[in-house]
Amino acid sequence: MRQQSIIFFTFLLLCTLSCDIDQTKKAKMPEVDVDVKTKAGQLPSFEVDWASVDVGTKTTTVSVPKVVVVMEEEEVEVPYIDVDMPDDKLREEQTITVEAELSGKSQKIDIKEIYATGKRLYVISELTPTGQDLGKEKMRVSDRIVLYAPDLDIKHYIIGNKPKGAFNNQYAYINSRNEITAKLAKGKQIYSK
């Protein structure tokens, strides 16, 4: 319970520090005379600066899975996301990777969307059948995006049927994006494919 409280207060602090709020108008109380006549007051207004986001692609060398036991390096175009948080100078290059180990029928996996909420990223990927029969072979499929940002907590969701095997337990599998719509409502979409 104590650890949950610490995590909650840390999350609350990080959410507060991840944006820059500037008051643009001071509050003014209504004027009231003895005859109980009032003049309209004024509520304060604020401007909120959120992270600026730059999205593009760059060429990088990555390990591309061909079969479970064979990895080959190839140069591929990898999308990148450059997140510039207000008042945060500790940006670093990170590669967000999503993988699935398949048997039976081949599928492809694609990172479809990324949302930012405070210091957490929600990465939504999708498994799509390709129809190719793998026979007795196993295969890993993957997708990746390069991210330039401060160190953020990343939560992965994969839309599609969870393939059998212990390797696939590291991600949350869902049937539809609608299952996580509420979690994404307060976030900002920083990537869409």
Cα within 13 Å of Cα(186), Cβ side: 6
Beta bridge partners of 157: 124, 172
Model pTM score: 0.59
Which segments of the chain have a pLDDT < 50? Answer: none
CA dist., res. 88 & res. 65, Å (int): 35
Question: Which residue in the block uniquely carries the two structure tokens 């993988």?
Answer: 99
User: Residue 91 — φ and ψ, nearest 5°?
Assistant: -90, 145
Q: What is the pLDDT of residues 28-72, one digit of tens each?
A: 776 655 555 667 777 776 666 666 767 777 888 877 766 555 557
- Give the model's pLDDT for residue 16: 61
Distance CA 174, CA 162 (A): 8
Quick one: pLDDT at residue 13? 60
